[in-house]
Each structure stands twice: as C-alpha cells, then as structure tokens.
Copies of this chain bind each other. A is one copy, B any other.
Amino acid sequence: MPIFKHLKNKLGVILLAFLLNKIKVESLEHKYSLETRFIEVPLDHFAPSTGSQTFKLRYLINAKYHLKEGPVFVYTGNEGDISIFAQNTGFMFDIAPTFNALLVFIEHRYYGQSLPFGNASFASHENMRYLGTLQVLADYAFVVQHLKHLFFENVNPYDTYPIVAFGGSYGGMLAAWLRMKYPYSVIGAISSSAPMYFFPGMTSCDLFYEKVTRVFEKYDGHVQCTKAIKLGWDVINNLAKTQLGMDFISKTWKLCTKLKTFEDVDLLHNWLSNIYINLALSNYHYPSEVNTPLPAYPVQVFCEKLTTSFFNDTKGLIEHFGHALEIYTNYTGTKRCNNINNSFEDYSEFAWGYQKCTELIMPTCSTDADMFITKPWDYEKYSLDCYKKFGVKTLDPNWPLRAYGGKNLKYYSNIVFSNAMMDPYSCGGVTENVSNTIWSYNINDAPHIVDLRRADTADNNYLIEARSFHIQAIKKWLNMK
C-alpha cells in the first residue's frame, strides 16, 4: 500500500535506531538492573472468536529492592520503546527501597519490541486494527493478573493486592484509565502530566500554544525571546516570497532539501513550532535526553542565542535563529542536515501518528495571544490529513467522551493527577481535586513529567513536595503509616 511506502524507504534508519536502542538497553540494564521478559497476550481482547491468537508483549522487571509480599509498582508504557520510559522514570527506582517494591515497566503494543506482527505490524490496515487504547488497557490488566500470580502466594482474586500504576503524559492517561476501567487490577494510580481533558470539546484549543509561549516569556527579561520568535515568522514569510530568500534560509539552517514551494514553507513552520514545543516540554533544570540530548534549561539557552541587535537585520536574524535551533537539532554537533519533512523516522513515530489520527485527537490552535504563527483548529483538515497519511477516517469526536467519560471522573477513586505548571500539556490536565479520593496536585515552576524523574540535587522544594505527596498517597492506598 502506497501510504506505508516511506517506512520501507527508511529501513536503514530503522536498523540504526534498532542498534542504538540495543546499546541503550544494555547500559540501562546495568544501571537499573532491568530484566527483560515477554508474555503472550491476546491479540484482540474484544473478539471472542479470535481470543486464542496471541503475540509477545515485552515487560522489564527490577526486583532489586523487592521483599516478599512487598508491593508491585507497574509503569504503564507510552508511545515508544519501554526502556526509554524506564530510563526516564527514576522516581520509581528512588522510592522502591522505601516500599520494598518490585518494579515492572510494561511496553505498549506496537512499540519497541512488542510488535504484534513483527516487521509487518504496519503493513496493512488489518494488521494495525489492534492498535487502540482499550486493547492496550486490556493488555495491562492481563499482565497485572499474571504478575499477581507470579509474585503473591495463594492468590484469592477477590482480595485487594498492593499493585500501583504509574505513568507520565500519555502513559499517565493509561495509568488513570487502567484504574478507572479495571479498579480491581491496581489499587491506585500516579498519573503525571496526563492531558486527560485534551480532547475535542473539553479544552479550548488555544491554551496549549499559550502555555508554550509562557515558558519562553520567562526569558523575555534578557532578550525579548517571544518577540524575536514572532518577528521570525514574518521574516521567514518575507524571504519565502523569492527563491533567493528560500535558498538563504535553506542554506543557513542546513535543511536537507531546499525550500521550493509554499508547501515546503508550511513544513518549515511546523518544524519550527515542534522545536519550540519540544524545548518547552524538556525545559528541565539539568541536562536531559528524552528525544534528543539537551542542556539544562534548554529554553533559556535557546533564548540567549537570540539578541535584540538583529531586530532590523533579516540576515542576522536568520543566522542567529540557525544557531539557536541547533540547541535542539544538533546539540552534540554530529548532525549533517535538518530534515523538515513530517515523514515518520521509525515505527514508533508512525504508530503515534496513527493513534493521534484515530483516537487521541488533541485540538490545538494558535492565536494573537501566543508566539506561534496563527493557525485555527480545523477538524475537517485534520481528518483529511489523517486520511492522506493513514488511509483511515478519524473517529467521531464524541468517542473519547464515550469511552472514558471525559470530565466525569467523580465515579472513580484512588488517582493522583499531578500537573507541572510550566508544562504546555497542563492545559488539558485535571488541575482540581475531583473528590476525596481523586486528587490533583499542581507543581509550580515545573516542566512535563518532571516529578516522575529521578531526584536531583538541583530539585526545588515544589518538586520535592510533589514527590512526597505521591509517596503519602501510595502509603495511604497501601494502608502504611
């Protein structure tokens, strides 16, 4: 099928990613002693007639701090190789000794090494039909049932077992949904930076870009960073009027393919926007490496590369921006050129693109109140783009509401929703207590999912207190003092 062809062309990239990943996992296993296991799970949890067809789902396990009858902490994997999430969820390792906990990180189907049809998993619609959040939750419930029998003696299925779910971002949504859909599976869930309400009709589309802008505004004191970024859009669009101007941008910003058409300029806009978003999401107070290696406070470092001196100098602005963007695109200095095509670099990106088109439709729009180029939310266009990319229609906008209840969380219990207030995704978070068992905890001055990361000497009090809140919640669920 033509829509899947760019994946085949990228085989080299995938192979390289696979090898790099192998190396990553090995060093990770040394650091955190993670053991890799696989379990056969039903391919389709909802079709009785095909219920006996299974595939291998991966999970990682750490029993270093585990004592008999100690709790099991389960991370509900996100959209990627589970080892990356295990590596970036140091909080679970930090608190494991306190609880004598067993740690388990379950991989999300269709990511990492949990591909239901191996290399053919994305080869057809038929093979991709099992990529849906409700199937994923059923996987997690299945694995938890299995773990219960593995790690507790004489299991009585009607007793409550000390099993707690953890998840961040999309994984945080899954942790919360696991507790909501399978309350007998886990006793509670720590759901960090989860945009639970970031669905059509639940959250105003302008808030996300506004929140990104607020992160950059922090550094306006020095350099009028957001003013420079806004000016940037006009300068780009002016230059884009001539081929000479487009050539200048292409050369200065080391684009792999020269800008030639309006469509190319549109791709450039998206590429820039995504860099700003990712910088804001990763604005940690120490160097990090989630998607790419970054310095501490990368937004600040980015902004410091811009100065007001070039505000009337087109050439100078493009050059300064070029240097600033390298903070994100080429921090280690090894990249030859920048690819602004929005094609998928690997299976994970493809799978995530598919999920965002089918179930996880999070409406965004930019307005005059933010630093982005103005772009309305257009569901029709979004759907059409999805159809072009994946050949599937987007689900009806009422689906998330029907499947998960939207803001109707009062029926559930034992979930902590933590929100980092400098995280753009907090716009779709549960930022107020829902009941006396569904809590919200807002962390001042903190970026995306920072509370689930390892403790660091540079952590501020807001963050230390947030983690302490999590520990108290877990102790309450486990009836500990």
Contacts and interface: CB of A to CB of B under 8 A. Distances in A.
A312 to B, nearest CB: 50
A46 B406 contact: no
A141 interface: yes
Interface string A168-211: 00000000000001111100000000000000010000000000
Interface string A402-422: 110111100101000000000
Interface stretch (A126-134, A215-223, A283-291, A445-453): A126-134
Given A142-B402, A145-B402, A158 B407 contact: yes
B145 A51 contact: no
A131 B51 CA distance: 12
Most chain B CB inside 10 Å of its own CB: which residue of A47, A51, A358 = A47
A246 to B, nearest CB: 37
A50 interface: yes
Most chain B CB inside 10 Å of its own CB: which residue of A48, A49, A125, A157 = A48
Given A183-B411, A402-B141, A408-B183, A157 B201 contact: yes
Contacts of A132: 46-48
Main secondary structure of the interface of A (DSSP, over half): loop
Contacts of A48: 129, 131-132, 354-355, 358-359, 392, 395
A216 to B, nearest CB: 33
B184 A411 contact: yes
Given A201-B157, A406-B158, A51 B413 contact: no
Interface string A336-380: 000000000000000000110011000000000000000000000
Interface residues of A, number: 49
B128 A49 contact: yes
Contacts of A131: 48-49
A292 interface: no
Contact of A49 (B49, B184, B392, B399): B392
A134 B42 CA distance: 15
Interface string A382-404: 00000000101101101101110
A179 B141 CA distance: 20
Contact of A50 (B49, B129, B141, B145): B129
A134 B45 CA distance: 9
A411 B125 CA distance: 37
Contacts of A332: none
A145 B404 CA distance: 13
A47 B130 contact: yes
Contact of A406 (B125, B157, B359): B157
Given A141-B402, A145-B398, A157-B406, A49 B181 contact: no
5 smallest beta-carbon distances between A and B, as pairs: A48-B358, A184-B408, A183-B411, A47-B129, A184-B405
14 contacts: A44-B129, A46-B135, A48-B131, A48-B132, A48-B354, A48-B392, A49-B129, A49-B131, A51-B396, A138-B403, A142-B402, A145-B398, A158-B408, A183-B405
Interface of A: 44-52, 125, 128-132, 134-135, 138, 141-142, 145, 157-158, 181-185, 201, 354-355, 358-359, 390, 392-393, 395-396, 398-399, 401-403, 405-408, 411, 413
